[in-house]
Amino acid sequence: MPRSALMGTRIRETRLRRGLRQAELARQVGVSPSYLNLIEHNRRRPGAALAEALGAALQIPPGAFAEDAQDPLLDALREAAAAGQGFEAAEFERIEEFVGRFPGWAELLAGQGRRLAALEQTVERLSDRMTHDPYLSAALHDVLSAISSVRSTAAILAESDDIDPGWRQRFHANLHADSERLGAGAQALVSYLDNAEDEEMSLAAPQEELEAWLAAQEYHVAALEHGSEAAIEALIADAPELATRPARALAARFLHRYRADARALPLGPFLAALRALGPDPAALAARFDAPLPMVLRRIAALPPREGVAQSGLVLCDASGTLVFRKPVQGFAFPRFGAACPLWPLYQALLQPARPIHRRVEMAGRMPRRFQTYAICSPHPSARFDAPMVVEATMLILPAEAEGVAADGGAAEPVGTSCRICPREGCPARREPSILAEEF
């Protein structure tokens, strides 16, 4: 990420473009030139009021600074700090200064943090596999049994001079059969472990592979807007991001649903309705007589230059596990582990079939507001006389997005995850935050 995106650097660059002297800008916003100098060099972070004054003086659109606060690099460093043992909370306040002064080291640290988290996941998966994989257990047992047989039989033949010819012949036949079985078993095991290396030891989880591919498509799969079932196979085959079989299976499931959504809510009419009605999921659902979760998914899958400017989408199952994540700037998702229990997504889980519209404010140095639309519905694969399987869907729209309902009134406070959430006195807090105070 270019470091020019940092707030201080951006203030400095904008001021210079406007031909303003540092002292003049400092005077306009009511701070000392030396303090402004610290801000411009990312050594200090202005509070909300000062940021607003600087934005007004420099004619920077509202919300632009907030984007800086949600810089992916800063998020990655916060996550790395949250995962670290004994990290000094006081230094947490200086992450942006660190990024500003040592951008290369910051990138490296964030990258190492991501890699560490991914490796931990891999270790967990491998450990799980070694412990519980029935195929591996059975295959190893088979190989060891064959070796036992060979060892016993060979010892009998080697140590017995007076063995009956009939027995000798049987033991030779057994040795032959066991050696063939051993060869086949060993080959199968090697092949299995080779595949496991490809599929299970890859650093990305299958969900991450799918999300990486979708991100490259900007979450809009144009080939499926009018495409056939065959297009799905072609898409998957041509996607280098989908390197493993589990990821390809996830992608197939996602794309079949995408195609069904696209057929039920065709792009042209849906865009026309969106322009007429605004991004109002209930009105759109009524217009097309379509299920709300489908409408939420469809809004999030529109081409970014034709639909709403920005939209995020998150899906979870009944355990609260996030099974799909389309990020939106300013509303950070935890990469691993559980999210904030105050998300309307989880409130929807508690009230199946009830649409929930909430205005929320994401915690951060520059809190941002979003309109969220959530609903929990039975999973499409639900069957009679089977355990209830549900899925919750939440569409996230920036409050300032065009056409989104006016952002008046209070917003419900939410965060990303407890470890990096600064909110004090939160009734839903699971564990202490590493932030002693606000960002």
Number of neighbours of residue 355 by Cβ within 10 angstroms: 17
Among 147, 189, 193, 283, binds another protein (CB under 8 A): 147
Question: Is residue 151 at the binding interface for another protein, with CB under 8 A as the rule?
Answer: yes
Question: Is residue 178 at the binding interface for another protein, with CB under 8 A as the rule?
Answer: yes
Separation between Cα atoms, residue 357 and residue 283, nearest integer Å? 13
DSSP 161: S
Among 141, 226, 354, 430, binds another protein (CB under 8 A): 141
Do 390 and 376 form a contact (C-beta atoms < 8 A)?
Answer: yes
Separation between Cα atoms, residue 201 and residue 55, nearest integer Å? 47
**In the complex, least distance from residue 226 CB atom to another protein, rounded to whole angstroms:** 54
**In the complex, least distance from residue 151 CB atom to another protein, rounded to whole angstroms:** 5
Separation between Cα atoms, residue 248 and residue 402, nearest integer Å? 35
Do 305 and 399 form a contact (C-beta atoms < 8 A)?
Answer: no
Contact window for another protein (CB under 8 A) among 103-111, 142-150, 295-303, 364-372? 142-150
Structure tokens at 346: 């989880």
Do 308 and 277 form a contact (C-beta atoms < 8 A)?
Answer: no
Separation between Cα atoms, residue 434 and residue 431, nearest integer Å? 9
Structure tokens at 101: 């002064």
**In the complex, least distance from residue 301 CB atom to another protein, rounded to whole angstroms:** 49
Among 22, 122, 149, 217, binds another protein (CB under 8 A): 149
Contact window for another protein (CB under 8 A) among 167-175, 206-214, 343-351, 395-403? 167-175
Maximal C-alpha separation, the chain: 109
Question: Is residue 145 at the binding interface for another protein, with CB under 8 A as the rule?
Answer: yes
Please, which residue, 113 or 185, has the CB nearer to another protein? 185
Question: Is residue 135 at the binding interface for another protein, with CB under 8 A as the rule?
Answer: no
Please, which residue, 147 or 186, has the CB nearer to another protein? 147
**In the complex, least distance from residue 144 CB atom to another protein, rounded to whole angstroms:** 4
Name the residue among 297, 312, 307 with its Cα closest to residue 262: 297
Contact window for another protein (CB under 8 A) among 43-51, 57-65, 172-180, 346-354? 172-180
Among 112, 148, 169, 351, binds another protein (CB under 8 A): 148
Number of neighbours of residue 159 by Cβ within 10 angstroms: 8
Question: Is residue 68 at the binding interface for another protein, with CB under 8 A as the rule?
Answer: no
Question: Is residue 188 at the binding interface for another protein, with CB under 8 A as the rule?
Answer: no
**In the complex, least distance from residue 167 CB atom to another protein, rounded to whole angstroms:** 7
Contact window for another protein (CB under 8 A) among 166-174, 294-302, 355-363, 415-423? 166-174
Query: How far is C-alpha 101 from the chain's CA centre?
Result: 29
Please, which residue, 171 or 288, has the CB nearer to another protein? 171
Structure tokens at 329: 């700037």
State the alpha helices, DSSP H only, in 307-376.
344-350
Return the bridge partners of 377, or none: 391
Question: Is residue 184 at the binding interface for another protein, with CB under 8 A as the rule?
Answer: no
Among 144, 184, 222, 276, binds another protein (CB under 8 A): 144
Separation between Cα atoms, residue 422 and residue 106, nearest integer Å? 22
Question: Is residue 152 at the binding interface for another protein, with CB under 8 A as the rule?
Answer: yes
- Look up residue 117 and give its amino acid: A
Write out the residues near another protein by the rule CB under 8 A. 140-141, 144-145, 147-153, 155-156, 159-160, 167, 170-171, 174, 177-178
